[in-house]
Each structure stands twice: as C-alpha cells, then as structure tokens.
C-alpha cells in the first residue's frame, strides 16, 4: 500500500516534469536538426552536430551580445546590491526623524509599474545621450524597493546587542555596516544578487527601446533578430540561439534554487 | 581601576513617566557591584546608561570624577558582556576575541599575544578557529567573557550574562567570573534578576524596583536587615514570610491575628508609635516546638500543614496563617504529612517589623545564626 | 556626599552641554547619506517620469515627445471612445482571467507534489522551477515554434490523432489563448518556487498533531495547508496580476498584437502608440490607466493582505 502510493506520486511527478520541461527539451533537440529533418517531423536528431550553433554565431554577433548581457546583468546586480544595502542599513540602524514616512515612500514605489514610466525615461536617456550605452541599460534599474525591503527584513534580524557591542568596541557606523551587517546577511545578498542578475539577463522591453545598433545590444534582442531573420527556414539555428541564451540563467537557477526559494518567500511574506 | 558615580540619574522616554528615578550611587574601584531586581525594574537601563547605549535624561554620570554623559560608549573605557553574548556569527572565536583590539588599532603581534593569554585563562585555546555556532552555550559564554577582558578596560559591565546557561554551569561560571574579576582587579557592574547570583557574587548589591533604589549594601546586611518588605521578599529563598501584626503598648504585646502573642521587651517600647505593623520572619527562623515544656507560653502556634517539600538536606513546609501563606524551612529530613497539625514557635529576636504605611524597617532581627569560624574550631 | 548646591551646579553643567542642532541632526544627515543613491535614482527614473507621464497625458506631442498643445482630458476621452483601446482593455482583462487562476492552480498542484518527502525530489523541484530561468524572449521563440501551423509540435500531435490543425497564433479566436498558455508556462517557475517556500514554512507539528487525530491527506490539505498558505497565495496572486498587466515580450514576439488586435495587451498598446505611432500624449494617458489598474491591485493587497502579511 505504502509503496503503491509512492509509485503513484513518482508517476505523476514524472508526467508533470515531462510536460513542464518538454518545450526546453524539444528546443534542445531541434537545435541539432537540419531543416530537412525538421520537416520530416522527427523528434530526435540523427546526430548531435553543432552546425546550427556555428551558424547562429556566424549570422549574429552572438558572442558580443552575450558579453553585453553579462556586463549589464552584473552591473545591475552590483548596483542594486550597493544601493539597496545602503538604504536598508539606514532604515534599520539609524534612528532618524521621518524614517517611517520615508520607508512608506519607498514601499509605494512598488506600486508604480515600470512600463508606465517608460516614455519619459526613454526621453531622459535620449537627452543624456545614453542610447546605445551600458549606463543607459543599467543605471535606471539600480534602485529597487524590493531589494531594500528584502535586505531590511534580514538586517532587522541582527540582534541589537551586536550593534551595541560594536558601539562599545568603537566601530564607526560605516565599518559596522561593512564588517558586521554585510557578512551577517550574506544569504540575503546572494538571493537579491541572483534575482537581480536573472531579471536583468531576461529583460526585454527596455533593451529593445534603448538600443538601436549592435554595440550594447543584449542576447534577448539578439534572439528576436535571429527569429525574424531565420524563421522561414532554419528553426534549428534559432533554437541553437535559444539554448545559448538560456544556459547561463538555467545554471544560475539550478545552483541557487534553494536559496532563491527561501529568500524570495521571506522577502515576500515577512 | 576606576570608580563610577551616578548623581540623581533619571531616565524617561518621550516625556512619559520616569522609568528610572533619581538614582545616586557610588561604585568603588575594584568593586563587584550587582544591580538586582525583578524584570522591568530598570536595572538593564541603568547599565546601558553607564555604557552609553542609552541617553541620560537627567542627572550626571561620572567615571573617575569626569562627567561622561555625552561620551560615546567607546570612549568610556568599558567592556561589556551581553545576555545573548553578541558574538559575531561570521567570525571565528579568535577574531571575535580580538575584534575590539582591531578597531583600537592594537598591533597585530600584541593582539595575538593578548588573545592567547585570555584564551588560556578561560580554557578556549582549542577552540580559537571555530565559529560560534559550533560552540556549546558555556563556551560561547566564555568567548563573550574573553572578548570583554581582552580589552583590559578598567570597568566591565555585564547584563545577565549567565541567564542562558543551565543551572550547573551557571553555578560554576559564578565563581569563575568572580575569580577573574579579583585577579584582574576590574570594577565590575553586574546586572541580574537572580538573587542567588546577587548574594553570591556581589561585594555590594543594589536592589531596584520600578526604577527606584530599594536598598544598597553588602549582601548579608541586606539579607539580615532588608530595608522594606519588597527587599525582604526578593532576597532569600523561600522568601521572607509577611503578615500584619498589632501592637498593644499597654500590654507590651505584639499579636498576629489574635492567635499568637509575643511580648515586647521594655527597651524596645519607645520605638513603636503605631498600632499595626508588617511583621516579617525568615522561613529558617520558624522553629518547630518539640517539647511540651516550651509550650508553656503563648509564643507558639498550631498550624495545619498544606504542602511539604523534602529536599534531602532540608524540608520546606507550607501552611496558612490568616490570609497569608507562610513557609518554614528546617534542616534535615522531616516526616510530615499534609494535614498534620504542627506547633511553630516564633522568637521576638528573629522577626523584622516594617512600618505598615511607608514600608520602612523599624526593627531587624537581633539574633541571627551568625557563625564565626574561629569560635567553632576552638 | 556632595552638597545640594554642588549638585545643582553639576546639573546646570549638563544642561549647558546639551547637544547643539548640528549634533542632534547627525543621525538625520548620516541616514540621508545612505539613502541618497536610492532617493536620486527613484526621483530621476520613477517619480519624475511618473509626473511627466501624467503631464504628457494632457497634451498633444510632436515626434520628439515634446508637449505641444494642451488638450486637457481630451486624450482620455479619445481613448474611451477608441475602439482599439477598448479592445486592448478587453484583451488585457481576458488575458488576466486566463493566466492568473490557471497558473496559480497548476503551481499549487506542483508545489504540493514536490513537497512530498521522496528520494530525488530535488530533481523534480529543479525541473518545475526551471522556467523561471528562461527569458521571455527565449520562451516566446520556443512556443512560436510549438505553435507553428505546419511543423509545430502541437499541430503534429493533433494531426497524428486525426484532428484538424489549429492556426494557434493566426486565428483571432485562438491567439490570445495561445499567448496565455505561453505566459502560464513561463510563470510556473516563479509561482511554484514561492508557493513551495510557503508550504515548507508551515510548522511540521501541525501535521503531526493532525495525524494523531487521524486526519487524512485531503483533510489536512483543506484545514491546514491551504489556510496556512493563504498569505503566500495572496502574495502570489498579487504578483501574478501585476505581471499579467505588464506583459509585453510574448506579444511582441508571438503576435505583434494581432491578429486583428486580439492580443494587443495594454503595455504593447502603449509601446505601439508611443514608439511606432509617436502619439506620446495618448500613450501617456494609457500609461496612467495602467498605473491606476496596478494601484488598485496593490491597494487591495495592502488592505486585505495586511492582517495576514506583515510588512513591518
């Protein structure tokens, strides 16, 4: 009875996993197929040749796009960590007048959908001459209320005695921040970092607006280009592009899934 | 060694009622001074004001004669041990111990040397590379202690440092802390809610209640002559028994609930002006009357036993007296059952009397079992 | 003991040494220093553009987006009469209804499955969460192929079962549904992770005590899991709603708002109005509308979620 139930759960789990993962698996298989194989309706490629990948990199500066995406995602990640950690520190460890009000203002920024502000933002970037620059793609995303919120949540769990012990020892506010608060909250910083990297890597609308040549274009826009160029004939090449684009984030997710799950749930619910 | 003086120190939050009112006390250099009281009495607040972690609303705090009200904690030449130890979880034991030295820019070589010395003193040498989470409660406590004394600050503040330990370890650490304090000649200000710690560790103790000083003195003096019923009940376990008593000056008589009558020596008569007082007696002075001939006078009472606790070396018997629940403590093991009627004797010499309105002590016990070692051995 | 006079003198000293204004505002200034980066960035890239959007929504603009003619509420009135905008609103609402409940139910089901303590469960959890690591662009491209009328996998399955293939993305009846399916699939990863986190936060003792009382699986699910999970579910619903309102990439890659504007969701509509038609005034009015939708959702979240979800 016990193992019958267990077996049943395994079967349902496997079916669900197959359904969820099928599109990715399928894309992976197609990335090895020639146009002819595709038309025949095969599921498995005849052999695992890398021709489609070769082509994908030939037709587009994909490596350049990948590098752009990496630079932009890392910059946003770092920017968010620094800006959010500083704000969260002020909210938790410095008692000042108007703290509650200011925090409320921070929270209220979560209510403003970024898309509602994109028109003036686009104009700002244009005026700053930041179109087709890294700063145009990164700086607007450095401040996020969610990050401040998540870190504030964790900072608040630091026992106040730790703060007082540092005061007695004569630590300055800044050194306390650097030497105690940040190492203490490593896990939340990792969570926020992974989250920031993931969302930036996957960003679509803003890079579409803020770039109009290849210089800082990201892989996501590259995918759209590839798809428009190759759609008629070479799906294998497009899928090769897809696999190249999703591999970094999938690896990041596989490594940090547990962390992300705990961190996001905490940030969301406490 | 430095002294610490408080002059009329008060504390209130946001113009509300004072949580600390008018505390004045002088703590001598090298003294082990204990602040004791029930939770919420303000003892930690006083300690934190001395540390500089809380602002002083009114009054003056002096260390070695210099007013330090506005000095930040790090400039007050103090070290502090917190109740939850406040160890940095991301640093190992050694890094935790030298954390403050690092900030004070002590040279690396000297840091290492001082750390080793302190670690040796506290038996931490084998654990220096471990993170706090891999230590037992007692070891963490030692690290916190080590961190405090490695600074060589002349004043050490401790805020309930033993309350997270189990009973056995606590007893051990009590004597260890006391020994270290003597050896290093630190001025120690120690906060606890545990009257046993206060009694056993302090050179002097200060009992606080609701932000006010109840009594300051040597533990044994406080025990023998508590300044008021609160101190009487707070210090000592089981607590002192209290009851309302009537004084009849013409009959030279003190009576409790009309049942028990004690005669008042003529010498004492002039010190009583009031009709009713609060009477207090320690449980160990409630003797059982075991021979018929001592029953001749009125100074005993038949009571009905309500609860018995035999602890091996002593027996605690509870009974009802009027509306008060009293406890008696007798040495050794007594075979008493619940419901038994026991005659209890009270000596005029061993009672305390308090003014029933103000609570001030009118009369302390004159006859206490105070043994002096030379007299016994001779 | 000090004399009273001496003591009074000392107290006066204390008062004299009271911190000055500069000292008192020390904390305030330090805090400002730490908050400055956030405040500047929020002002430049959030508060200012939000105000600017509102401002622009009252104007007709030139191709550079400069406000030209003040038209008051005309842009809004125009929108309310514009068939295209009403269609876009209808599509957005339908899209929300298609994606949010389904996505959450599927994720909840997966999370319950993945919460079983079995060997190798970590593998399944990773698989279920995997779509979170896949970008909108990548997912859309993959699904674009799955929906392909002739070589697409979906139609092949239908054909092998003897059915008639569907024009997933080309038929106005199917297009929105197809975009919804893609979106649900994409969101499962995130929703699943959050719900699983919520389930794992439930105190194990509750289940143990229920087991001692002899409660069965579904009883436990109904009386313990779902109620204890309600704050998580509430949060997930809000986030999904907001995400649904903000959908753009799928539409851009799969349908470009077509066929016959059946998938012209609001953000895509804003994008087209502003950056294809250069009508920044009406685009801004639409943005304000989007802002209001999300404001309502957030306010509802705060109002109803506050009791269960603690923000402080």
Q: How many domains is chain B built from? A: 2
Confidence band for A265, pLDDT divided at 50, 70 and 90: low
Flag whether pLDDT at A55 surpasses 90: no
- Whether residue A174 lies within 8 A of chain C, CB to CB, comes out as no
Domain housing C48: 4-56
Chain C's closest residue to B61, CA to CA, is C14
Residues C130, C181, single domain; the answer is: yes
- Chain-chain contact of B74 with A162 (C-beta, under 8 angstroms): no
Report how far residue C128's alpha carbon sits from residue C151's, in angstroms, rounded to the nearest whole number.
27
pLDDT in tens, B343-365: 888 888 888 999 988 889 988 88
pLDDT at position C232 is: 85
Asked whether residue A4 is domain-assigned, the answer is no
Quote the CA–CA distance of C83 and B331 in Å, as a whole number: 98
Distance (Å) from the alpha carbon of B65 to chain C's nearest alpha carbon: 12
Mean pLDDT score of chain C: 84
Tell me how far CA of residue C133 lies from CA of A14, A28, A201, B76, B124, in angstroms: 20, 15, 9, 54, 47
Show which of residues 107-126 on chain C sit within 8 Å of chain A, judged by CB atoms.
109-110, 113-114, 116, 118, 121, 124-126
Residues C29 and C104 in one domain: no
| A44 occurs within a structural domain | no
* Of A30-34, A170-174, B299-303, the least confident: B299-303
- Of B84, B99, B104, Cβ closest to residue A159: B84
Do C41 and C83 belong together in one domain? no
Burial of C142 (0-12, 13-18, 19+ CB in 10 A): buried
Last residue of a domain, one of B229, B259, B291: B229
Contact of A17 with chain C, judged by CB distance below 8 Å, is answered with: yes
Q: What is the mean pLDDT of chain B?
A: 88
Could you tell me if C35 and C99 lie in one domain?
no
Q: Is pLDDT larger for residue A74 or for residue C21?
A: A74
Domain coverage including residue B275: 238-377
pLDDT at A49: 81
Selected residue with higher pLDDT from B20 and B370: B20
A vs C, Cβ pairs < 8 A, gives 270
pLDDT in tens, B2-13: 899 999 999 988
Q: Are residues B225 and B101 in the same domain?
A: yes
Indicate the DSSP class of residue B40: T
Give me the half-sphere count of Cα atoms (radius 13 Å) on the Cβ side of residue B177: 32
Domain containing residue B329: CATH number:
2.40.50.140
Query: Rounded distance, CA A243 to CA C145, Å?
Result: 14
Q: Which strands form B287-288's sheet, in the order they lie side by side?
A: B287-288, B341-345, B300-310, B314-321, B324-331
Q: Is residue C218 domain-resident?
A: yes
Judging by beta carbons within 10 Å of its beta carbon (0-12, 13-18, 19+), is residue C218 exposed, middle or buried?
Answer: exposed
Kindly tell me if the per-residue pLDDT of A8 is higher than 80.
yes
Q: Give the helix, strand, coil percentages of chain C, each rounded to 5.
A: 75, 0, 25
Q: Percent of chain C scored above 90 by pLDDT?
A: 38
Share of chain A above pLDDT 90, in %: 38
Tell me the three state secondary structure of residue A82: helix
State the average pLDDT over residues C267-283: 90
Predicted confidence at residue A270, as pLDDT, reads: 46
pLDDT tens profile C213-237: 877 888 888 888 888 888 888 888 8
The reported pLDDT for the residue numbered A107 is 83
The answer as to whether C61 is a domain residue is no
* Residue pair C264/C88 in contact by the 8 Å Cβ criterion: yes
Of the three residues B229, B252, B279, the one that is the final residue of a domain is B229
Could you give the number of structural domains in chain C? 2
pLDDT at B292 (0 to 100):
55
Does residue C256 form part of some domain?
yes
pLDDT attached to residue B299: 67
CATH code of the domain covering residue A118: 1.10.3720.10
> Taking 50 as the threshold, does the pLDDT of residue A186 lie above it?
yes
Structure ipTM over 0.85, yes or no? yes
| CATH code, domain carrying C288 | 1.10.3720.10
């Amino acid at each position: 009875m016990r193992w019958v139930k267990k077996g049943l759960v395994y079967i349902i789990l496997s079916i669900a996993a197959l359904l969820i993962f099928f599109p990715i698996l399928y894309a992976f298989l197609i990335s090895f197929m020639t146009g002819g194989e595709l038309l025949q309706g095969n599921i498995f490629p005849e052999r695992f040749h890398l021709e489609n990948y070769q082509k994908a990199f030939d037709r587009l500066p994909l490596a350049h796009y990948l590098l752009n995406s990496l630079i932009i995602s890392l910059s946003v990640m770092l920017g968010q960590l620094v800006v959010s950690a500083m704000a969260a520190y002020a909210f938790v460890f410095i008692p000042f007048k108007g703290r509650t009000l200011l925090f409320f203002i921070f929270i209220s920024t979560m209510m403003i959908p970024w898309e509602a502000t994109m028109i003036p933002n686009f104009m700002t970037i244009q005026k700053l001459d930041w179109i087709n620059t890294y700063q145009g793609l990164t700086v607007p995303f450095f401040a996020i209320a969610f990050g401040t919120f998540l870190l504030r949540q964790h900072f608040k769990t630091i026992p106040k005695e730790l703060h007082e012990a540092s005061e007695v020892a004569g630590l300055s506010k800044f050194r306390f921040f650097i030497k105690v608060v940040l190492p203490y909250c490593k896990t939340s910083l990792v969570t926020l970092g992974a989250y920031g990297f993931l969302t930036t890597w996957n960003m679509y609308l803003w890079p579409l607006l803020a770039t109009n040549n290849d210089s800082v274009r990201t892989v996501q826009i590259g995918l759209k280009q590839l798809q428009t160029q190759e759609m008629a004939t070479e799906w294998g090449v497009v899928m090769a592009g897809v696999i190249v684009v999703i591999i970094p984030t999938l690896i990041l997710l596989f490594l940090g899934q547990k962390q992300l799950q705990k961190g996001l749930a905490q940030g969301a619910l406490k | 060694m430095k002294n610490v003086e408080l002059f009329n120190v008060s504390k209130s939050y946001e113009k509300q009622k004072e949580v600390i009112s008018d505390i004045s006390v002088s703590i001598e250099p090298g003294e082990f001074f204990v602040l004791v009281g029930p939770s919420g009495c303000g003892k930690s607040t006083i300690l934190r004001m001395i540390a500089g972690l809380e602002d002083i609303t009114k009054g003056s705090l002096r260390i070695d004669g210099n007013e330090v009200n506005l000095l930040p904690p790090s400039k007050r030449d103090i070290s502090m041990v917190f109740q939850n130890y406040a160890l940095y979880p991301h640093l190992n034991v050694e890094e935790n111990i030298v954390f403050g030295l690092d900030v004070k820019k002590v040279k690396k070589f000297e840091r290492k040397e001082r750390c080793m010395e302190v670690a040796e003193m506290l038996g931490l040498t084998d654990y220096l590379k471990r993170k706090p989470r891999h230590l037992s409660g007692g070891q963490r406590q030692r690290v916190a202690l080590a961190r405090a004394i490695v600074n060589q600050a002349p004043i050490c503040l401790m805020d309930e440092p033993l309350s997270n330990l189990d009973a056995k370890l606590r007893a051990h650490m009590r004597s260890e802390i006391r020994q270290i304090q003597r050896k290093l000649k630190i001025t120690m200000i120690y906060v606890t809610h545990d009257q046993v710690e206060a009694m056993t560790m302090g050179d002097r103790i200060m009992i606080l209640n609701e932000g006010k000083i109840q009594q300051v003195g040597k533990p044994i003096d406080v025990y023998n002559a508590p300044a008021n019923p609160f101190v009487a009940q707070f210090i000592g376990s089981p607590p002192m028994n209290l009851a309302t008593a009537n004084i009849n000056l013409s009959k030279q008589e003190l009576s409790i609930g009309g049942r028990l009558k004690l005669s008042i020596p003529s010498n004492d008569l002039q010190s009583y002006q009031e009709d009713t007082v609060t009477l207090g007696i320690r449980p160990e002075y409630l003797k059982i009357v075991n021979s018929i001939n001592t029953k001749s006078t009125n100074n005993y009472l038949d009571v009905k036993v309500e609860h018995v606790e035999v602890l091996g070396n002593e027996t605690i018997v509870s009974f009802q007296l009027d509306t008060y629940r009293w406890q008696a403590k007798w040495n050794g093991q007594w075979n008493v059952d619940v419901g038994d009627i026991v005659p209890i004797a009270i000596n005029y010499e061993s009672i305390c009397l308090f003014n029933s309105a103000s609570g001030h002590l009118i009369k302390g016990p004159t006859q206490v079992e105070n043994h002096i070692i030379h007299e016994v051995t001779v | 003991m000090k004399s009273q006079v001496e003591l009074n003198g000392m107290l006066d000293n204390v008062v004299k040494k009271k911190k000055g204004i500069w000292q008192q505002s020390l904390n305030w200034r330090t805090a400002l220093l730490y908050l400055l980066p956030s405040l500047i960035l929020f002002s430049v890239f959030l508060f200012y553009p939000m105000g600017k959007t509102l401002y622009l929504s009252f104007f007709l603009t030139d191709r550079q987006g400069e406000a030209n003619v003040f038209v008051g509420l005309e842009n809004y009135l125009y929108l309310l009469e514009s068939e295209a905008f009403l269609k876009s609103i209808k599509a957005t609402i339908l899209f929300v209804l298609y994606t949010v409940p389904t996505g959450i139910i599927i994720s909840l089901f997966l999370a319950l499955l993945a919460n079983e303590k079995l060997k190798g469960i970590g593998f399944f959890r990773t698989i279920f969460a995997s779509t979170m690591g896949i970008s909108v662009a990548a997912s859309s491209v993959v699904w674009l192929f799955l929906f392909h009328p002739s070589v697409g996998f979906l139609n092949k399955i239908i054909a092998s079962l003897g059915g008639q293939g569907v024009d997933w993305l080309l038929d106005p009846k199917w297009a929105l549904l197809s975009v919804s399916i893609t979106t649900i699939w994409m969101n499962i990863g995130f929703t699943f992770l959050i719900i699983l986190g919520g389930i794992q936060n439930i105190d194990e003792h509750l289940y143990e005590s229920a087991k001692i009382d002899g409660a069965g699986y579904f009883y436990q699910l109904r009386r313990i899991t779902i109620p204890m999970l309600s704050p998580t579910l509430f949060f997930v619903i809000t986030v999904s709603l907001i995400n649904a309102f903000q959908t753009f990439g799928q539409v851009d890659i799969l349908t470009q708002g077509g066929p016959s504007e059946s998938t012209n969701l609001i953000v895509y509509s804003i994008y087209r109005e502003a950056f294809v038609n250069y009508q920044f005034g009406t685009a801004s009015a639409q943005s304000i509308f989007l802002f209001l939708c999300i404001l309502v959702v957030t306010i509802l979240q705060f109002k109803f979620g506050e009791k269960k979800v603690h923000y402080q």
